[in-house]
Amino acid sequence: MASKWRLFRRTHRADQGGQSDDPNFVMSLCLHKWHIVTQLKSGAPSGSSPHRRHISRHFLHRGKTMLFRAIIAPLGISLSMASSSFAADLVEAPPPAAPTWTLGIEGSPEFYAIDNGSNKARSLADTYFKFSVSHNFADNFVGGIFIQPTFKTGGKTQYYGEASLGYKIKLTDAFTLTPSVALGYTWHDTGIVKDADANAQIPYYALYLAGDWKLSKQWTWNVFNFRYRNAFNTTWETPKLATGVTYNIDSTNAVYANLGYSWKKADTTSAPYDDLAGDKLNIAIGYKHSL
């Protein structure tokens, strides 16, 4: 009996030595203690003794401690980590960034605004198609380019190429003002007079001012779009004023329509374009895709 008691004490000291954090050691130690207690019980008379009471209390206390260290504590940590990971999965993802690039196509017939020689007012002057690319920068600047072939009655063709840079000014939550400047070039059958050339290929500049009023999530009234355009080395004043509406199909697709009226003053002494006079009116429709 004494030898068994000494064996129990050695096991107790091993447990107190700090090795019980190892799960394998804990399981071995529990089995070993159970074996000792079984031997003590089988080798001692029934009833109560100080040694047996001490062993019972000690075994109960250490058993609870080792059970917590070996099973409950690791299980709690695992559940905590799983809960944190699950909570992170439930955090709502940030909204996607707004599109910054826009591709556009526009088409329109143009009609003579006034009688001019054989050209009668409201008769077809030409049909154009405009292909554009624009980019919205983070600091409210917007840049763009376009190519525009214009097919005139009589089989002639004029081409335009233009690059612009503008700045969006949000005056209210609904109304935005956008001034911009542009440089361009027109060539082929231009009909622009320069010295003795009746189809001069010329560089030009343009100033724009647009005002847009967002009526709802889908509808925008393009209240006005004013253009002043002139050549660098000849007279080719061609201001234009347009108004229209845009319908946003979704966050990346939109269609629009606008009505425009332009004037012209050329380098000529012949009326009506020796002074600023009505030139063309048009009804345009277009499509824009953002990405």
pLDDT in tens, 147-188: 999 999 999 999 999 999 999 999 999 999 999 999 999 999
Residue type, 266: A
Average pLDDT over residues 229-243: 97
Q: Are both 153 and 274 inside the same structural domain? A: yes
| Residue 59, H or E segment | helix 50-67
Q: State which residues form the domain around 226.
A: 101-290
Is 213 a domain residue? yes
Give how many domains the chain has, as a whole number. 2
> Domain check: are 65 and 162 in the same one?
no
Residues 44 and 111 in one domain: no
90, 120, 142: which is the final residue of a domain? Answer: 90
- Are 32 and 150 in a shared domain? no
Q: Per residue in 249-259, pLDDT tens?
A: 999 999 999 99
Answer yes or no: do 186 and 72 share one domain: no
Model confidence pLDDT, tens digit, residues 259-280: 999 999 999 888 899 999 999 9
140 and 231 assigned to the same domain: yes
The verdict on 138 and 241 lying in the same domain is: yes
Residue 72 falls within a domain, yes or no?
A: yes
Which CATH number is 255's domain given?
Answer: 2.40.160.40
| pLDDT reading at 63 higher than 80 | no
Domain identity same for 144 and 235: yes
Q: Do 241 and 276 fall into the same domain?
A: yes
Query: CA–CA separation, 38 vs 40, rounded Å?
Result: 5
- The residue written with tokens 């944190």 in the block is 84
In a domain, 107, yes or no: yes
**HSE of 198, CA atoms in CB hemisphere, 13 A:** 0
Of the three residues 55, 90, 125, the one that is the final residue of a domain is 90
Same domain, 83 and 158: no
Residues 104-117: what's their mean pLDDT? Answer: 96
Tell me the C-alpha distance between 266 and 191, whole Å: 10
Tell me the residue ranges of DSSP E strands in 153-201. Answer: 157-167, 169-170, 175-188
Is 95 a member of any domain? Answer: no
Distance between CA 143 and CA 165 in Å, rounded? 4
| Rounded Cα–Cα distance for residues 182 and 166 (Å) | 9
**In a shared domain, residues 36 and 55:** yes
Q: Is residue 42 part of a domain?
A: yes
> How large a percentage of the chain has pLDDT more than 90?
63
| 16 lies in the same domain as 127 | no
Q: Quick check: is 233 in a domain?
A: yes
Last residue of a domain, one of 35, 65, 90: 90
